[in-house]
Amino acid sequence: MIVIGVIGLILTVVFFSLNAKQKETRDVKRVSDMNMLRNALEVVKNQTGGYDRSFCDLSVVSACAKKENSELLKFIPELKKLNDPDEISKSCADKNVCVSNNCNYAFSKLDGEDYEIRFHLEKGVDDFPVKGCYIATPQGIRKL
């Protein structure tokens, strides 16, 4: 009985360690995706004169790939697959969803001179140690 209890305890510790590592791995991917989007949007602005030339809507980022005239698609060919790594269907465009849950990357602002892309971190990672809703902008990434 003691042996079974010890094995159960070890398995529980291993399970929670793996779960935390998976969250961290997804958060690293999210930050990486945001940096890639920020870089591509800078190229769009430099070549066309404005971020709005990405022709994206204030919705899920991957929906932008459906726009044939999207300049962003030229610099991120895999744009239609650029979604939250946890495959969440709820959009981060809704601030309440972003603050409370995992959600899919979404533009919440987009014009010629500025943009905001919302995303959610499950655990926090590196320069962004707190879980929650974050915003990627031309100036960087910050917590909402």
pLDDT in tens, 82-93: 999 988 789 999
Per residue in 46-57, pLDDT (tens digit) is 999 999 999 999
The 10s digit of each residue's pLDDT in 129-143 is 999 999 999 999 999
pLDDT recorded at residue 133: 97
- pLDDT, position 64: 92
- On whether the CB atoms of residues 107 and 38 are closer than 8 A, the answer is no
Please tell me the pTM assigned to this model: 0.86
pLDDT at 1 exceeding the cut of 80: no
Residue 133, SS3? strand
Select the more confidently predicted residue: 134 or 7: 134
pLDDT tens for 13-24 read 656 556 678 889
CB 22 within 8 A of CB 45: no
Categorize the per-residue pLDDT at 59 as very low, low, confident or very high, splitting at 50, 70 and 90.
Answer: very high
Per the structure block, which two tokens stand in for 55? 């022709």
Contacts of residue 60, defined as CB under 8 A and 6 or more positions apart, other chains included, come to: 83, 91, 93, 104, 105, 106
* Cα dihedral 25→85→133→28 (10° resolution): 30
